[in-house]
Amino acid sequence: MAQDAVDQINPLTDEIPSSTELPASIVTSGIPGHERPVPPYAIEPPTTPVSKRFVVTFAFAQLALFIALLGPVTISMAIKVTQVVGDAQATTAQGLILGVGAFAALIANPVFGRLSDRTMSRWGRRRPWMVGGALGLAAFLLVIALGTNVPTLLVGWFLAQLAANACFAAYLATIADQVPPSQTAKISALGGVMQNVGVLAAIWIAGMFTAQMVPLFMIPAAIGVVGMVAYALVLPDKQLPQRPPSMTVKAWLETFWISPRRHPDFAWAWISRFLLVLGSFMFSTFRFFWMKDHLGLTDAEAAGVVFKGVLIYTVVLVVVGQLAGIVSDKLALRKVFVFASTALFAVGLGLLTQVNGVGGFYLVEAILGAAFGIYMGVDLALVIGVLPNPDDAAKDLGVFNIANAGPQSLAPFLGALLIGGAAKNYDLLYLTAAALTLVGALAIIPVKKVK
């Protein structure tokens, strides 16, 4: 299916015509602030509310993908790495593997997003990449499960991230493709909730298979495939009515650059997301090791505490996130919610320096859950509102997703440096994460196009 899509993409032949050469229809974008002529190769923007079946399968697909993808990031890879190299070298190996894998995501998301935007497959633009990417992720998670050395784990995770981001770039673009502006905050909030429930489910699964590597990785992988296939079967993924204009290699590569001067709102939103995700992953990447080193827990105890902490985080996030999405849509306000939630997340990261027991950790998880719930309930709606061109939604969201993937690449290396190996300076790690996140809150203030 994915090969059929690729065979029909020809981005490398002729120059792309200017916008003045494109026959203009009279339809305008469904995203406020993006009114423009719709060229004949574009699909008209959504105006009709999505069905309940769409919402349910969309949510299940997000849940399933993140069970497969974030299980290794939160706990499974730490268990595998410890098994392979031992406790003494585990944090260094974990940082290397996750950092290199996140670099793959950095590249893959915008590239596969652009390919998805231009796909002419009879199955639509998004389905081939969603299903093909989920299958690829499952295959490479099996490589990790069977791996016996760090190079195998590193290559396996790099390829797994490529496949997962081919899937996710297409999946995320279905919001811009299918969901009208009146529903974007509610749908994006639901996706954020499912993402975090997926983390919780992945940790729960990991707790049952800490000594069995194949089910530890492959049960989540199978769930990911089922979720994406179910959504693909329901998704009304239209074919492009006409092949997009051909592009030279130079023009194709240049589309991945979005000028901060021409699109400052997109740039500020990107910076804000980058810093929040960086702070978050500086915490979550080393949370398991912090519990062992600072709280004195065993592997099994740490896994149990992480599960309970993420459960608290997720329950608070679900309630607060849904309320935030509803209120944001009702008030037609985004910025105040994004600023407040990012600032609150910074406070929670700073409070980790005062935690000396499991109870304090649970309290901080509740604060972080409330903050991230508000953020996920509103931020994607803000981002969709500042996209440079909705006709390139997957590509532009892919560029924006660099703000998700880039920090995941940087956080393991920066975190390992701040911790200082045997020094175990977790306070410096958390204070740095809090400061960076607070700057991320301030970065959203200059956004003008969205209130």
Residues 6+ away with beta carbon under 8 Å from 52: none
Q: Please report, as a single letter, which amino acid is at residue 68.
A: A
Predicted local distance difference test score (pLDDT) of residue 56: 92
Predicted local distance difference test score (pLDDT) of residue 352: 95
17: alpha, beta or left? (left if phi > 0; alpha if psi -120 to 50): beta
**Cα→Cα distances 72→12, 97, 172, 284, 306, Å:** 37, 11, 21, 12, 14
Kindly tell me if the per-residue pLDDT of 42 is higher than 70. no
**Cα→Cα distances 410→96, 175, 280, 304, 381, Å:** 10, 28, 12, 27, 26
Kindly tell me if the per-residue pLDDT of 37 is higher than 50. no
Where in the chain are the domains? 49-237+259-443
State pLDDT tens for residues 380-405.
778 777 777 766 666 677 778 778 77
State pLDDT tens for residues 141-184.
999 999 999 999 999 999 999 999 899 989 988 887 888 877 77
Q: What gap in Å lies between CA 393 and CA 358, rounded to an integer? A: 43
Of the pLDDT bands very low, low, confident and very high (cuts 50, 70, 90), residue 64 is very high
Burial of 388 (0-12, 13-18, 19+ CB in 10 A): middle
Q: Please report, as a single letter, which amino acid is at residue 279.
A: G
Of the pLDDT bands very low, low, confident and very high (cuts 50, 70, 90), residue 76 is confident
Instruction: Identify whether the C-beta of residue 233 lies closer than 8 Å to the C-beta of residue 54.
Output: no
Predicted local distance difference test score (pLDDT) of residue 19: 32
State pLDDT tens for residues 251-274.
767 766 777 888 888 889 899 999
State pLDDT tens for residues 1-21.
444 444 444 433 333 333 333
Instruction: Identify whether the C-beta of residue 114 lies closer than 8 Å to the C-beta of residue 399.
Output: no
Q: What gap in Å lies between CA 408 and CA 421, rounded to an integer? A: 19
Tokens of 205: 């699964």
Q: What gap in Å lies between CA 294 and CA 160, rounded to an integer? A: 32
- Homologous superfamily assigned to 49-237+259-443: MFS general substrate transporter like domains (1.20.1250.20)
What integer best gives the mean pLDDT of the chain? 81
Q: What gap in Å lies between CA 108 and CA 377, rounded to an integer? A: 25
Q: How many of the other CB atoms lie within 10 Å of CB of 311?
A: 17
Q: How many of the other CB atoms lie within 10 Å of CB of 15?
A: 11
- 359: Cα separation from own chain's centroid: 29
Of the pLDDT bands very low, low, confident and very high (cuts 50, 70, 90), residue 28 is very low
Q: What gap in Å lies between CA 404 and CA 400, rounded to an integer? A: 8
∠ at Cα 54 (324, 120), nearest 5°?
Answer: 115
The secondary element (H helix, E strand) that includes residue 14 is: none
Q: What is the CA radius of gyration of the chain?
A: 21
Instruction: Identify whether the C-beta of residue 385 lies closer than 8 Å to the C-beta of residue 32.
Output: yes
Q: What gap in Å lies between CA 184 and CA 390, rounded to an integer? A: 14
* Candidate from 38-47, 215-224, 271-280, 381-390 with smallest mean pLDDT: 38-47
Tokens of 231: 């959504």
Predicted local distance difference test score (pLDDT) of residue 393: 64
Q: What gap in Å lies between CA 425 and CA 422, rounded to an integer? A: 9
Instruction: Identify whether the C-beta of residue 203 lies closer than 8 Å to the C-beta of residue 71.
Output: yes
DSSP string, 255-282: TT---TTT-HHHHHHHHHHHHHHHHHHH
Q: What gap in Å lies between CA 357 and CA 429, rounded to an integer? A: 18
**In 3D, which of 360, 328, 355, 350 has the Cα closest to residue 433?**
350
State pLDDT tens for residues 316-371.
988 887 788 778 777 877 888 889 999 999 999 999 999 999 999 999 999 999 99
Q: What gap in Å lies between CA 235 and CA 111, rounded to an integer? A: 22
> In terms of residues, how long is the chain?
451
% pLDDT > 70, the chain: 87
* Candidate from 70-79, 162-171, 221-230 with smallest mean pLDDT: 70-79
Predicted local distance difference test score (pLDDT) of residue 67: 92
Of the pLDDT bands very low, low, confident and very high (cuts 50, 70, 90), residue 90 is confident
Q: Is 209 helix (H, G, I), strand (E, B) or coil?
A: coil
Instruction: Give the mean pLDDT of 112-140.
Output: 89
49: alpha, beta or left? (left if phi > 0; alpha if psi -120 to 50): beta
% pLDDT > 90, the chain: 32
Q: What gap in Å lies between CA 131 and CA 108, rounded to an integer? A: 16
Residues 6+ away with beta carbon under 8 Å from 74: 199, 202, 203, 206, 284, 287, 288, 306, 310
Tokens of 388: 């440079």
